[in-house]
Amino acid sequence: MKINANFKTFAGLNFDATKYIASPSYGVNRFMLDRIGNEKARATTIVEYNPNSSFPEHEHIGGEEFLVLKGTFKDQFGAFPAGTYVRNPIGSKHAPWVDEDGCVIMVKLLQMAETGEGIVPLHVNFEKDKGESTDFGSVLHMYKNDKTGEHVQMFRINPDTVFPTDDLAEGGEEIFVYDGSLKVGGEEYVKWGWVRFPVGAPSEERKALIAGESGAFVFRKTGHLTEKSLSM
């Protein structure tokens, strides 16, 4: 299966709950953003867990990182409410569950390289940690890897304000709207919308990327789309 699998072109989707696809795992539904592979796939997905679901312990062969969008995600390391970024490195293990509130996450699977970062998970509550002020809002730096070139950040962008490009944008960008909206190329990507810009000098559409009238609170990952990173 291939969905938005050409990393050299722009891709964008707005979330649509009517297009959830049931997973082979009972009580789990998926809205696919990009994917290469079938059940074991390099994938970016919005995943809905029904209330009172639990899962056996499993190892993260190619790594896993996700944002908790709704409800509370739980495993042996703690309880992680909406507004949490979780990075489970290659080789880490957990046995997650959700309680009666259910849970929705945006998850990226099999997109890490073995660079010696260990197996200790990273948890960042980006709702509580506001980060640093910028001319357009604020930025919170959550993770970086100098070997792969990856950077993971959360940005708050003021209403009707351009989200400026930077040097990291040339390494390709994946942007997920946690709240608010972003406008690009005549399209508005609202809450849980997703866009991906390819490696290279930012396009005119990227340079004009602007927050909607209520602003935008977005996840951005850069550096992972370069030939170097994809080959690791």
Q: How far is CA 86 from CA 14, 81, 146, 222, in A?
A: 23, 11, 19, 17
The pLDDT score that the predictor gives to residue 23 is 86
* Pairing outcome for strands 103-109 and 84-88: unpaired
pLDDT of residue 77: 93
* Confidence (pTM): 0.96
Kind of pairing between the strands at 64-75 and 187-189: unpaired
CA distances for 22 relative to 19, 28, 42, 73, 137, angstroms: 10, 6, 18, 19, 38
pLDDT in tens, 21-72: 998 878 889 999 999 988 778 999 999 999 998 888 889 989 999 999 999 9
Single-letter amino acid, residue 46: I
Indicate the burial class of 161 (C-beta count within 10 angstroms; 0-12, 13-18, 19 or more).
Answer: middle
Residue pLDDT, tens place only, 155-198: 999 999 999 999 999 999 999 999 999 999 899 999 999 999 99
**Torsion angle of alpha carbons 193, 199, 67, 111, nearest 10°?**
130
